[in-house]
Amino acid sequence: MPGPEVVDIVADSRETPSETCGVLKARHDVALTIARLQYGDYSIAGQLSFERKTAEDLGRSIIDGRLFRQMSALRRRAKRPVLLVEGLQPLSSPSGVPWHAVRGALVSVAVVFGVPILAADGPEESAEIMVIAARQMARLTSVAYVRPGYRPKGWRRRALFILQGLPGVGPGRAAALLDAFGSVAAVMAADAESLARVDGIGMQVAENIRKATGNTLLIDQEHSCGMDSWRARWMARLDQWPPEDGSR
């Protein structure tokens, strides 16, 4: 019987002291390479990038704002970014950060920054998740990728299908956007004010579209304001999650 398929994983050199890196190194089905990565802690097939955080590191990174800087960079530069959180227990307060703030930060990572979050009990499960992901990526690149589910025919139906993937955009709003701008590319390039002028969109939906497509990230405010005030605004938002006015 042949042994398990060996997968290639690259670990950032700063991850070598971690137990997770040690587990990967000890596995017979992993070919682990140590290198200095520009972003993320682990890289698979040059496409999938994992940022791994223990619960305590997650808490510290929320306090000092590092989490949001890392997620912004990961979202911009990695083809398929993932935040892997290790050992986080529900209702806990890692590094003294209250649970509602932790939950709010994770919601922001997934919704505002668009980075998927995976949870692991510990180093063994973290390693297993990455091995599974590596095998799935290998199968994905060996065959043509087909988006699952409904496959619309015709240019307009395909365009409407794509636009309905945007936050707050259903069939009616998708049609209004396409009629107003003429193409998916034009919708993606439009600013929030232009989007808000479309019938049925409004400023809240327009801003959510802009955030989802990466044109405006909250992290950019760091460059126009002092770091301390930027952190204070983030923590204030997390302490009040969800906002009473319904904004994000």
Task: Give the CATH number, domain containing residue 176.
Answer: 1.10.150.20
Listed in order, strand segments (DSSP E) in the chain are 7-12, 30-35, 42-44, 48-54, 80-86, 117-120
Verify that 163 and 205 share a domain, yes or no.
Answer: yes
Write down the pLDDT at residue 227: 42
Residue 22 lies in a domain: yes
Distance CA 15, CA 12 (A): 5
Tokens of 63: 């306090």
Write down the pLDDT at residue 213: 67
Tokens of 234: 């983030």
Strand order in the sheet with 117-120: 30-35, 7-12, 42-44, 48-54, 80-86, 117-120
pLDDT tens sequence across 124-157: 999 999 999 998 887 765 444 444 555 556 778 8
Residue 232 lies in a domain: no
pTM exceeds 0.85 for this model: no
Identify the bridge partners of residue 58 per DSSP, sorted by sequence position. Answer: none
Distance CA 119, CA 97 (A): 18
Residue 231 lies in a domain: no
Who contacts 206 (Cβ-Cβ below 8 Å, separation ≥6)? 192, 193, 195, 196
Q: Which of residues 101, 119, 142 is at a domain's end?
A: 142
Verify that 138 and 15 share a domain, yes or no.
Answer: yes
Verify that 166 and 127 share a domain, yes or no.
Answer: no
Verify that 24 and 63 share a domain, yes or no.
Answer: yes
Q: Which of residues 142, 176, 197 is at a domain's end?
A: 142
Domain carrying residue 20 = 7-142
Place of tokens 């227990």: 89
Higher confidence at residue 212 or residue 209?
209
- Region 82-109: what's the mean pLDDT? 95
Higher confidence at residue 147 or residue 62?
62
Verify that 94 and 130 share a domain, yes or no.
Answer: yes
Residue 241 lies in a domain: no
pLDDT tens sequence across 19-52: 999 999 999 999 999 999 988 999 998 789 999 9
Is pLDDT at 233 greater than 70 in this prediction?
no
Return the number of other C-beta atoms located less than 10 Å from residue 128's C-beta: 14
Distance CA 24, CA 94 (A): 25
Residue 217 lies in a domain: no
Distance CA 72, CA 153 (A): 35
Write down the pLDDT at residue 26: 96
Place of tokens 């395909």: 158
Number of domains in the chain: 2
